[in-house]
Every structure is written in C-alpha cells, then in structure tokens.
Structure 1
Amino acid sequence: MSAATEAHDQAPPTVREAGAALVALVVATLVGYGWYLGFHLENVHNGLIGASFTAVGLYVVRMRPRHREGWLFVATGVLHAVMFFGRQYGLHDGPLVGASWLGWVGAWPLPLAIALAGWTFMAFPDGRLPSPRWRFAVVAMMAVAVVLAVVSALWPVEYDRIGLAAPHPLAVPGSEVADRVWDYAQYCYVLFQVLWTVAIVVRIRRARGDEARQMRWLVFAVVAAIVLLVVGLLAFGSPVPGLLALPLIPVAAGFAILKFRLYDIDPVINKSLVVGAMLLLIMAAYVAIVVGAGAVVPADERVLALVTTAVVAVAFEPLRRRTQRLADRLVYGHRATPYETLSRLSAHLEDPPQDLLDAVAATVAGAAGATEVVVWVGDEHRLVPRGRWPAATVDAGPAMLAELDGPRRLVRPVVHRGSVRGAITVRKPAGESLSATEVRLLSDLVAQTGLIIVQLQQAQEIQAAARRIVTAEDAARRRIERDLHDGAQQRLVTLGLELGALAKQAEAGGVAMADRVKQARAQLLEATAELRELARGLHPMVLAQSGLEPALAALADRSAIPVRLHVAEAGRLPRDIEATAYYVVSEALTNAAQRTPGTGNGAAGAGRSPRRTLR
C-alpha cells in the first residue's frame, strides 16, 4: 500500500487525476452494470460498499494524496465492487457467457474483503494502526483471510449460502472434507470483526482532540447502521434498512478524515443512542406481548396491541431516564453533563469563600475533563490564585493576566461589568482541546464565577470595614481610659491624700472642722471610685489582664437577673475580638434586665445570686 501511495504522490497531477478517474469509471461500470443485471437483496450491501467506499476514498486521496486511509478505502471499495458484479453476473437466471468464472470471482474474495474492511477500520482515521503491536494482528488476520480465500477458490464452500446459479468452475477433489472444515473455519469472520472492534475501542480510549471527534463520527455511523439493521429485522423481518444505511459509514468517515465542518457530534450520538435504544425496547415489548403472549393466551390482536401500548406508556419514561443516563456515561464518560455541572456548583454556594473557589475549580475540571484548574482573583495587572484543582497543585505566585497563558493552558478572563475580576486557567491532556459543548459550558461557569468573586470581594470589604470600626472603637475606649487614669483620676487621688493630711491637722483645731474635712475626703474617695469604675466600664481591667472568661464571669456576678454562663475553652483571643464579645454580652444582659419585671434599671434584684456554669 505504501508503494502505491508513493507512486501516486510522485506522479504529475494530470496522471493522478487520470488514474483516479479510471478507477472511478471501472467501479461505476461494475456497480452500474451489476444493478442492471437484476436486484438481489442478499447482494445489495456489496454494491453499496463498493460505490461509497470507492467514492470517499478517491475524494480523500484527491484532497490529501499522502493519506493512507484513503487508499485503504479505495482498495476496500474496488474489491467489493468486483464481488458485487461477479455475484450479480452469477445470480442471473438466464445463461450468460462466462457466468461460472465471473460468479466464482464474486464468491472466493469474501474473506479478503472482510479482512481488508477490518484493516481499514483498525487504521482509521490516519491510516496507521493504534500501535506497532497491532501490525502482527493485521498480518495474522490477512494471512488467515488468504488461506480462507484459497479454500473458497478451490471448492464451492460459499455457493450454497450465496445461491449462485452458475456452477463452480473448478472440479478439485475433496469437496466434502472442505465443507466440513469450512463449517468451523467461517467463524474466523467473527474473530475478524471482534479484532477490529477491539482496535477501535482502544483507539477511542487513547484518542484526544480532533482524533477523538473523528472516531466519534465513525462510531456514530456504525451504531446508526446497526440500530437500523436490528429495527428492520424486528419490525419488518428484513435487513434492508440496515443495508441501505451502510453508505453512512464511509461518508461519515470521509467527513471526519477531511475535518470538513467537524462539529461536536457528542449530542447527536447521545440522542441517537437514546432513540435507538427506545426503539429496540418498544419492538421487544411488542414481540414479547403480541407474539409471545398471543401464542400462549388466545386473545384478539387488537387487545394485545392495546396492552402493549399501555405497557409502553407506563414504562417509557423510567426506561428513557435510565437509557439517558447510560448514554451520558457512554458519550461523556465520567464527566458531568452540563445540568449536573451547574447543579453541583449551586450546591456549593453556601461554602466558605476559600472552599467555594476550590469547588468552582473542581466543577470546571469535571465539566471540561481538565487535568488542572486554577481560579485567580484580582485585576489584569495582578492576579492571585485563590482556588485550585486538584488540591495538590503547586501554589503559584501573583501574576499578570498576560502571563497566565502557557503550554496546554487555556485562559478565560472573568469579566464583570467591563472590569476584569479574575481568571480561570484550564490545563487539558496533551493533544486535547475544548469541544464546542465544553466551550459553552465553560463560558457559563466563568460568568457564574464572576458573580461569586464580586460577592466574595464585597463580603471581604464589609468584614474589613467592620474590623476597622471595632478597632477604632477599642482604641477610643483605651484612649479615654488612659486619659481618665493618668489625668483626672491621678489628680483626685493626689487631692485625697492632701485632704487626709489636712484632716489630721484639723483635729487640733476642733472636732467640727475635722468632721467636715473627713466628709469632704469621703466624698472625694467615692468620686474616685466612681471614676475608676467608669474607666473600667470603658475597658475592664480584668478583660485586659485575665481574658474573656473572667470578664464575662464578672458581668454575670453583677447582673440583676440570674445568669447561666457557658464559655468554651478557646484560650486568649485577639484584643478586638475579646472586646467585641464582652460588650455584646454586656449589652445583652442590660437589655434583658430592663425587660425583666421588678428589676428596674438593674438595681432591683442585684442581690439575687446568679447561676453560672463554666465549661
């Protein structure tokens, strides 16, 4: 095959065009004259394969002369065209010149045709096998096919099945032995089909990017032909629908090889699988009830048809859902469908900010089949990674938006109201790119991520503002406390000491004057105590020295209503957090005391002992 390819490539364009035209003319003559000789249902598929494979192969070779798969298509089509003409000639009722030999030519190449078609599928879409080890499988398959073809050429082992009217032209002894051997040897056809099916599955699992889409085109055409074949056999007892669908395979393969309008075919395959499976289920229900039950239970055919309709109506939707899930798994693999992807993202909207961005990265990875996803937050001049999948991804430092693009990394900026708020970087496996469905889904996820980032930034701004307010209030309280302690309180203490000394001197001058000085000193001490209490109310000393738990315990002791206190063992907290918690509890106790009958402003009931439970 490679020698023919090189000869074709090195020939002048005119010679190549003439050679292609000659092959097309020969195949058209064989197929056209074969149809002219009559219609034989069991030989229809050979004519369809010969015409379609040759036409697609010649077009591929014309567009891409070095494409090996095109040559395999041409060889497969020419061989089937020869077989079709030979069988049509040998099946003709009237005596035709050379019918025995031409019918013989239409029979014995069958093993070679099946093996060559298998080789063509195994080498799809580039004409190369999945790996060098598959060469031995192809060589073995072709060798077995040659042996089977020789047996079929020497003895009429295929004549009874084909029904050729003309006799076998050779009279080689051992026909009975050959028939017995052929009864087992023809199972090699099944082995050929299993072999190329395994090769296609292996290639699909390894395929990436455009090659994966090309394989899906082939699988779609094969599955469609098989579904039509089964439906035709079940519904009409005829393989005609499936045989007429055979040209879909080379046509779809040709589109895939040339990448002509290579749209994402995943949704088409998905729906085709669901529709085909449901048709098979409906046919199976009809056969089971109308044919099976009708043969056991005597009933009118219309009644059985109504029963079948009722059963299908009840079971259709549950079966459709199960079939849809199976089709999704076959088409998308372990990737989530678009609906499942958005549902999973919605389920994480209540997560903490860091976990939410990690969930966004995991959702994008599951939807796009990515190996790495990073969510960046910031503007186009400075972006910081905030979410990643997988969790073991190496942390990256801040970067500009223009610096994020790299090998196999796709960058999608997160834009909200015309401003860049972040970016999502997606790394796909080598040789694989985003499909049309994945591009649309990623765009939706990027839009949702923009809203999430904006909300997180707003929440962070609110938290920062609240933290600044608490810090400012705590600083103001400490400043007032310091001013009272170092200013007015210190002067009052000094004045109290001077009044104490004056009282001792006044005792010598008279009892009345000494009493008045003592009273003034007592009032001064009370004012100092009240001022000290006021300073502690701004920021209690016990809170600064011992922490939140003793400070809350002091509040509980002074409360006008019974209090049961539970304090978690959290250790010392930041000063602003302890101050905030203390004043929140203090305000709550004050409000509760004011609303409790008989407590007044907290004075009444002050003697009631509080209940405190520390934990």
Structure 2
Amino acid sequence: MSDGAMSDGALRRAAYVVMVLCFCLYAVGLVLELLNPKAATSWGTGAAAPLIAFVLANMSFAVVGALILHRAPRNRIGWLMLGIGAVWAWSAASEGYILYAEVTRPGALPRPDLVAALSSWLWVPAIGLMGVFLVLLFPDGRLPSPRWRPVAWVATAAIVAGSARGLFLPGVIEDTSVEGLRNPLGVTSVQPLLEAATVAFFALPVCVLLSAAGLIVRFRRSHGVERLQVKWLASAGALVALVYAVAVLATLLSPTSGTTPDWVLAMQDAGLASFIVIPVAVGIAILKHRLYGIDVVINKSVVFAALATFITTVYVVIVVGVGSLLDRADRPNLALSVAATAVVAVAFEPVRDRVQQLANRLVYGTRATPYEVLSDFADRMGGTYAAEELLPMMARTVGEGVGASRAAVWLATATGLELEAAWPPESLATGSRAVGELAQVPGDRVVAVRHRGELLGAIAVLKPPGEAVTPAEQKLLDDVAAQAGLVLRNVRLVEDLRSSRQRLVRAQDEERRRLERNLHDGAQQSIVAVALMIRMVRARLDAESLPVAETLDQAADQLGSAIEQLRALARGIHPVVLTERGLGPALRSMAERSPVPVLVDDRLDERLPAELEGTLYYVVAEALTNVAKHAHASAVEVHVSATATQVALEVVDDGVGGGDAGKGTGLLGLADRVSVVHGTLLLDSPPGGGTRLLCTVPLTPFPRSTDVAPGRQRTTQPLGAGQ
C-alpha cells in the first residue's frame, strides 16, 4: 500500500460511518416532512406512502453500498452507491428542515434559505450518479470500453455545471417545495454564465440514454453470471425509465393553471416509488449471483439482526407487557427480568438454528451451507448412478457448492490429466481438454484427488470476476476431494475392466483372422493340391483300370467336400468378405446362405471401424441362427444405418415371438460383446408378434461407462444387464 493511502480497515469504517450518517439524515428529514403532511410539494401528492417508499429506495443505496464495501473496500460500485445514498440523504434532511422552518413552525429553525441553497440542486449529481455512472460501470466498476469515456466526461461536466448553477444562481431558489426563498450564495457577476449552464439539463438526459445503450451493449457481449447480473439492472432501469417517463409526460400534458389532476399526482407518486426497484435489482444481483462475494456478511447480519429482534421482543413483552398488566411497568421488576432471561436462554438455541437455516436459504439459495453440500454429495455418491453421470454430477455439486462460474473434473491418465466433466455442461466445449501435469490445470483453485497417495484426478473451480475462493470454500473443496478419491478409484476400475474386455475381444477377433488365414493358406490349399493330383492321375488311367478310376473319383469328391467344409468353417471363424469388403457385403453373403429369406437394407456410406464391423456381423449371425431354429419365420429384415454419432442395426422377423434373452448364452454373450464397444442390445419379442432385435453402437467419442452400482439396477436396462 502506498504512503498516504487508507487501509482496507479504515475504508470499511468510513463506509459504515457514512451509512449511519445517511440513516440519521433520512430519519430527520422524514420526521420533519411527516410533521406537516399538508405542506406544498413540487412533485406528487405529498402522501406518506410514496414518500416513505422513495426514502427507503434511497436508504437502500447506502445499505447495499456499505455491504459491498465491507467485502471489497476499494470497489467503485460500492462507493458509487454509498455516494448516491449520501446525496439523497442530505437532500431529504434539507427538504424536511426547510418545510419545518418555513411551513410547520415558521422561524423555529435558522437560515432555511441557506439550507435550500446548499441542497436544492442535489438532484443533479444524484440523477447523474444513478442514471449515468451506476448504469455505465455496473457490474465490475469499469467502462464497457474506452470509447465510452466521452460519455463519462460529458456527464461529469453536466453534473458540475448543473450543480454550480443551482448553488450560485442569484434570485429565487428553484427546485424546492417552499416558494419565495432567495439564494444567499448567488453571484450576480456570473449570472449569464450560470444561465448558459442550463444546457446541462439537456446534456444529462442524453448521457442517461447513452448509458442505457452502454448497458445493452454490455449485456449482449457478456456471458454467464455477468449477463445475469446486467440483466437484473437493465430490467430495473427499463421499468423505472418507463414509469418515470409516463409521470413526466403526464405532468407536461396536465393544465399549467389550477389544481393538478389526481391521476397526474398518482403518476408522480408512482414515479417516486419506482426508484426503489434499482437498489433492489442490484441487491438481487449480489445475493442471487454472488456479486462481490458478500454472502457471508449478509448471512451473519441477517442472523444477528433476527436474534437481536427476538431478544428485544421477549424482553419488551415480558418486562413491559406483563409489567403493565401488574401495574409495575413504571419501575424495575427483578422477577420479570429473570423470567425474560430464562425464556431467552431456553429458546435461544432453537431460534438461532431456525434463523440460521433461513439466512442460509436466503443468501445461498440451493447452495445452502458447505456441510449441506457435503451431505448431499455423500448421498448422491452412495446411490444409484451410471459412471458417465457421476462425474458431471460431481462437477455440478462442487460448482453450486462454492458459487463457481465453472467447475471441472479431471482424470489422471498415463500422459497427464484429461477433462472429463464440467459444469455448466456447455463449458465442456471450451478450453483445453488435456494437460501434462497438475500445475497446468486451469482454474482459480485446483484440488488434487488422491486415493492412498495415488493421484487419480483433480477438481478445478473458476470463480466469477472479482470473487476469490474463501477459506470456507477451500475447506469444502478439500473435503469433497477427500470423498471423491474412492469414487474416482471406482471409475478407474470400471475403465480398466472395460479396456480389458476390449483387449480380449480384439485378441479374439485377431485370433479368428489368424485361424482363417491359416486354414485358407495352409490346410485348404494342401487339400486342393491333393485333389488336383488325384484328378491328374485319374486322367492318365486307361479303360482297363476302371475300378481304380472310380475309387479315385470318390476320393476327389470327398476332398472337394472337405474343402467346402473348411471354407464354411473359415467363414464362420471370420469371413474374408467382411475383412475385404465391409459389413454390407458380408451381411448380404450371410443372407444368401440363410434357410429363411433375408432382406438386407444397407445404408452405410463408408466402412466402419473393424471392431464395430465384427461386433455387428456376429449380432446378425446369432440373430439369423435363432430365427432358423426357433422363430418359424417366413421372412427376416436386416436394417443397418449410421449417423454422425452412432450406428443402428435392426433385425426383424415375422415369427412366433416369445423370445427370452435370459435363456441360453448366445444373446447374453452378444450383449457382453456389444457393451465392450459401449453399445446397447435391446430385445422386443412379444408372443405371437415376431421379434425385433435392436443394436446401437456409438461412433465417437465413447462414453466412459454404462455400469451401475452393485446391487442396483436401472429402470431401463440393456439386454443382458443384471443377468
């Protein structure tokens, strides 16, 4: 901190002093005005309700500003809102002073003209700060871009010029509820210059409109939490502008002479009361979207205020109320004081717990408390879940628990860490998906997830602009990471199991291809050669060797039959046509050999990965085998198609139906094989209604897992699950 600069603690104390002074000024002004409710007013009916609403709106600026400054003592928005509240507070107190000194009790207070000269123009900086700078700088205290600096400069000049005009213009003071007061600070020598400063009253509304345009630009360019924050203020500003514009228009259209119509006065009252929407909107943006991170301060303030109210109420009811019934309200009563203390002592803890819960819900919303987040996380992890749902659920729990704008779950791999889940889900498509080490994981705070000392992954959070991770949130992240160690260990085991099954299927397919090649290039070719040699010997025999020739013909025929059997065996092990030409031709070749007529509808535009082709081929082979053995069908249809994300295979027959996946091992084995490539196999076989077998397999990327926790089942499960 540089020499002469105030410390954060001093700035916080200054903010609270200003807020308390604002309360005092508001109280003085409101009491003095309400003492003479029939006094003349320059705007509205002068009724108590809109006046109180206007005062509450202005007090809200000071309260919200002080709360922001408690968390961030150098935040511009906080000081701006506190300044708006202070200006309106001085204006309210001055107006009440003038009314009391001139109307309620004339001469009771000194120099109302000087007070009017020092306050009648305060609406100029108040409107300028509220309508220009608050709108232009919200929510981060910076201009949308450097091009908006001229608007800020012109607005500053207009505020200074308009304020100087009201302060030093000689003659009758304008903009006060009491007419005829002359300005004791008027400077006649500069009156022409001050009259020219009237242009500020036209420049300031233009700056207000430009600031509103800047808010719209910021809204269109912003994303996520900032967009929601700006949306609240934009909506409130639009509402106030509409109501106030209607009130001004009604005032301009009303008769200039005589009594102002009641409906015009009502519109003016509505215009005054509407200003409360602006600080309320800023407060909602702070509470709902955790702008500036003052949720802890508000939480404690709500609890403290509620408990203080409870204790005071109990004391007043027992000591004063009961004392009045006993005619002892005018003197101390030790017994009643002890009774009040006992009631407070007994009820304090339950009341405090209830108030704390309400404060948590008010401030944190669904986030609740960190320990509620931990409890919810443990409940979710212990219930039914699919592994591909687990990590996004973990990211969401962490993100909502710490109020992050983004939360991510990373898994450790052989080469580093990979991003597996993020909240909000759309943020998964942005940023890096893989890093080499833990230190490279992006985020405001990154917590390693370990199990028995082994790094399994990491949880990373990104807080909204201007917010930091609090110690309580850091503790929450550490606790979640400790619980997540076993969860990520299970995810890794599931992935290892799936990888092992993939390797086994891949090895089986490779062994099938090797056997097919060996049969084709080895035994089959040897038998073909022997058959050719027999045919050659047969051709050289003369007519006298007819018995020998017949024997050789029989041997050649048997060798031919053996060759066909070897070829059929080779095709069953792994068809050559599948390897060389792809799934569609292989299915058509299979259909030609089927005893039941088969229609193949091949809509594939290109070859699939070999692993997928092999899996789908054997699904059809098993289905056609079952049709031939059990279905008594007259026709079968095979449909295969692909999209950008998955392949769908459907086998439909018109047989007797009634198939049961739980009987026999054929379909169960296929279901296991299909699950290896992250697919699903569904069987629909109502009695008498034919059979429909649907297999869907994703192309890329494959999800992490489709398994469920032990002992629990999905509502809808793929074929073979849980068998």
**Is the CA contact 1:204–1:212 (under 8 Å) kept in the aligned structure 2?**
no
For 1:613 and 1:591, how far apart are their aligned partners in 2?
Answer: 14
**Are 2:80 and 1:132 aligned?**
yes
Equivalent residue letter for 1:391: L
Secondary structure at the aligned position of 1:425 is classed as strand
Assess, with a 3 A threshold, how the Cα gap between structure 1 residues 401 and 133 changes in structure 2: closer, same or farther.
closer
Aligned to 2:464: 429
The equivalent position to 1:391 in structure 2, one of 415, 423, 428, is 428
What's the offset of the Cα at 1:449?
Answer: 3.9
**Is the CA contact 1:382–1:399 (under 8 Å) kept in the aligned structure 2?**
yes
Secondary structure at the aligned position of 2:636 is classed as coil
For 1:193 and 1:424, how far apart are their aligned partners in 2?
Answer: 47
Counterpart mapping for 1:2-41 below 5 A: none
Equivalent residue letter for 2:410: W
**Is the CA contact 1:270–1:331 (under 8 Å) kept in the aligned structure 2?**
no
**Is the CA contact 1:208–1:432 (under 8 Å) kept in the aligned structure 2?**
yes
For 2:407 and 2:12, how far apart are their aligned partners in 1?
Answer: 39
For 1:141 and 1:449, how far apart are their aligned partners in 2?
Answer: 53
Aligned to 2:532: 497
Assess, with a 3 A threshold, how the Cα gap between structure 1 residues 507 and 411 changes in structure 2: closer, same or farther.
same
Secondary structure at the aligned position of 1:124 is classed as helix
For 1:379 and 1:268, how far apart are their aligned partners in 2?
Answer: 51
What's the offset of the Cα at 1:119?
Answer: 9.3
For 1:370 and 1:519, how far apart are their aligned partners in 2?
Answer: 84
Structure 1 stretches lacking a partner, 5+ long: 1-5, 10-59, 81-113, 159-167, 173-179, 182-190, 241-266, 275-323, 598-607
**Is the CA contact 1:130–1:202 (under 8 Å) kept in the aligned structure 2?**
no
Assess, with a 3 A threshold, how the Cα gap between structure 1 residues 565 and 147 changes in structure 2: closer, same or farther.
same
Secondary structure at the aligned position of 1:613 is classed as strand
Counterpart mapping for 1:247-286 below 5 A: 271-272=354-355
Aligned to 1:330: 362
Secondary structure at the aligned position of 2:434 is classed as coil
Equivalent residue letter for 1:539: H
Normalising to structure 1: TM-score of the pair? 0.51
Deviations 1:247-305 (A, max 9, x none): xxxxxxxxxxxxxxxxxxxx99983287xxxxxxxxxxxxxxxxxxxxxxxxxxxxxxx
The equivalent position to 1:217 in structure 2, one of 278, 294, 300, is 300
What's the offset of the Cα at 1:204?
Answer: 7.5
Aligned to 2:90: 142
What's the offset of the Cα at 1:499?
Answer: 1.7
Structure 2 stretches lacking a partner, 5+ long: 27-55, 112-176, 179-270, 324-349, 640-723
Secondary structure at the aligned position of 2:560 is classed as helix
What's the offset of the Cα at 1:370?
Answer: 0.8
Aligned to 2:516: 481
Deviations 1:291-341 (A, max 9, x none): xxxxxxxxxxxxxxxxxxxxxxxxxxxxxxxxx6xx665322464774696
Deviations 1:59-105 (A, max 9, x none): x99x959932465589799999xxxxxxxxxxxxxxxxxxxxxxxxx
Assess, with a 3 A threshold, how the Cα gap between structure 1 residues 224 and 150 changes in structure 2: closer, same or farther.
farther
Normalising to structure 2: TM-score of the pair? 0.45
**Are 2:555 and 1:520 aligned?**
yes
For 2:361 and 2:628, how far apart are their aligned partners in 1?
Answer: 64
**Is the CA contact 1:489–1:528 (under 8 Å) kept in the aligned structure 2?**
yes
Assess, with a 3 A threshold, how the Cα gap between structure 1 residues 513 and 566 changes in structure 2: closer, same or farther.
closer
Assess, with a 3 A threshold, how the Cα gap between structure 1 residues 329 and 458 changes in structure 2: closer, same or farther.
same
Equivalent residue letter for 1:614: V
What's the offset of the Cα at 1:431?
Answer: 3.6
Assess, with a 3 A threshold, how the Cα gap between structure 1 residues 334 and 534 changes in structure 2: closer, same or farther.
closer
The equivalent position to 1:450 in structure 2, one of 485, 501, 523, is 485
Assess, with a 3 A threshold, how the Cα gap between structure 1 residues 583 and 123 changes in structure 2: closer, same or farther.
closer
What's the offset of the Cα at 1:498?
Answer: 2.2
Assess, with a 3 A threshold, how the Cα gap between structure 1 residues 348 and 427 changes in structure 2: closer, same or farther.
farther
**Is the CA contact 2:449–2:481 (under 8 Å) kept in the aligned structure 1?**
yes
**Are 2:517 and 1:575 aligned?**
no
What's the offset of the Cα at 1:473?
Answer: 1.9
Assess, with a 3 A threshold, how the Cα gap between structure 1 residues 142 and 492 changes in structure 2: closer, same or farther.
same
**Is the CA contact 1:349–1:356 (under 8 Å) kept in the aligned structure 2?**
no
Deviations 1:100-148 (A, max 9, x none): xxxxxxxxxxxxxx99999975663559883436535423422431453
Assess, with a 3 A threshold, how the Cα gap between structure 1 residues 330 and 380 changes in structure 2: closer, same or farther.
farther
What's the offset of the Cα at 1:559?
Answer: 6.2
**Is the CA contact 1:229–1:239 (under 8 Å) kept in the aligned structure 2?**
no
Secondary structure at the aligned position of 1:492 is classed as helix
For 1:482 and 1:118, how far apart are their aligned partners in 2?
Answer: 85
Deviations 1:217-243 (A, max 9, x none): 344444555677889999999799xxx
For 1:575 and 1:332, how far apart are their aligned partners in 2?
Answer: 52
Alignment RMSD: 5.6
Deviations 1:338-378 (A, max 9, x none): 4696499669964563x643443233222222112221111
What's the offset of the Cα at 1:424?
Answer: 0.8
Assess, with a 3 A threshold, how the Cα gap between structure 1 residues 509 and 394 changes in structure 2: closer, same or farther.
same
What's the offset of the Cα at 1:417?
Answer: 2.7
Equivalent residue letter for 1:455: N
Counterpart mapping for 1:538-557 below 5 A: 538-548=573-583, 551=586
Deviations 1:371-403 (A, max 9, x none): 122211116982222222323432243131234
Secondary structure at the aligned position of 1:214 is classed as helix
Equivalent residue letter for 1:124: A
What's the offset of the Cα at 1:422?
Answer: 0.4
Aligned to 2:403: 369
Aligned to 2:497: 462
For 2:525 and 2:454, how far apart are their aligned partners in 1?
Answer: 58
For 1:435 and 1:474, how far apart are their aligned partners in 2?
Answer: 55
Equivalent residue letter for 1:67: R
Equivalent residue letter for 2:80: P
**Is the CA contact 1:378–1:421 (under 8 Å) kept in the aligned structure 2?**
yes
For 1:374 and 1:71, how far apart are their aligned partners in 2?
Answer: 42
What's the offset of the Cα at 1:476?
Answer: 1.9
What's the offset of the Cα at 1:426?
Answer: 0.6
Assess, with a 3 A threshold, how the Cα gap between structure 1 residues 529 and 507 changes in structure 2: closer, same or farther.
farther
Assess, with a 3 A threshold, how the Cα gap between structure 1 residues 210 and 475 changes in structure 2: closer, same or farther.
closer
**Is the CA contact 1:556–1:610 (under 8 Å) kept in the aligned structure 2?**
no
Deviations 1:7-56 (A, max 9, x none): xx9xxxxxxxxxxxxxxxxxxxxxxxxxxxxxxxxxxxxxxxxxxxxxxx
For 1:192 and 1:224, how far apart are their aligned partners in 2?
Answer: 33
Assess, with a 3 A threshold, how the Cα gap between structure 1 residues 146 and 239 changes in structure 2: closer, same or farther.
farther
Secondary structure at the aligned position of 1:573 is classed as coil
Assess, with a 3 A threshold, how the Cα gap between structure 1 residues 522 and 154 changes in structure 2: closer, same or farther.
closer
**Are 2:506 and 1:471 aligned?**
yes
Equivalent residue letter for 1:613: E
Aligned to 1:611: 635
For 1:574 and 1:362, how far apart are their aligned partners in 2?
Answer: 35
Assess, with a 3 A threshold, how the Cα gap between structure 1 residues 489 and 378 changes in structure 2: closer, same or farther.
same
**Is the CA contact 1:559–1:610 (under 8 Å) kept in the aligned structure 2?**
no
Aligned to 2:647: none
What's the offset of the Cα at 1:433?
Answer: 3.4
Assess, with a 3 A threshold, how the Cα gap between structure 1 residues 419 and 426 changes in structure 2: closer, same or farther.
same
Equivalent residue letter for 1:388: A
What's the offset of the Cα at 1:553?
Answer: 6.0
**Is the CA contact 2:65–2:81 (under 8 Å) kept in the aligned structure 1?**
no
What's the offset of the Cα at 1:589?
Answer: 6.5
**Are 2:17 and 1:67 aligned?**
no
For 1:381 and 1:437, how far apart are their aligned partners in 2?
Answer: 33
For 1:525 and 1:149, how far apart are their aligned partners in 2?
Answer: 121
**Is the CA contact 1:564–1:610 (under 8 Å) kept in the aligned structure 2?**
no
